[in-house]
Amino acid sequence: MMERKYIAVEGEDDLYRDNNSGAIVNRNRSAYEMAKKRSENARKKLIEEEEQRDAIRNATREINTLKCEMHEIKNLLQKLVDK
């Protein structure tokens, strides 16, 4: 297995170049953890927003169903009154 060697990137305290792959690596663990936390919070927020949209959509469907049923009841009552 090849040993990983890193060379500091000039002017950047936390960035290093991986000699094997040439990739730039951020070795600041706390910045990484904060980025993970931000990503997780953003994902949770998207899920909550989607759940809210679903709840609104379902409530709208129920309201529309009730409107239709009320319209049917109104028509039936009108028929009874007309007899």
For the chain (83 residues), the mean pLDDT of every run of 10, in chain order, is: 78 88 89 94 98 98 98 96 87
List the Cα angle 41/44/47 in 5-degree steps. 155
Determine the pLDDT at residue 38: 97
Determine the pLDDT at residue 2: 62
Determine the pLDDT at residue 1: 57
pTM of the entire predicted model:
0.58
Determine the pLDDT at residue 12: 85
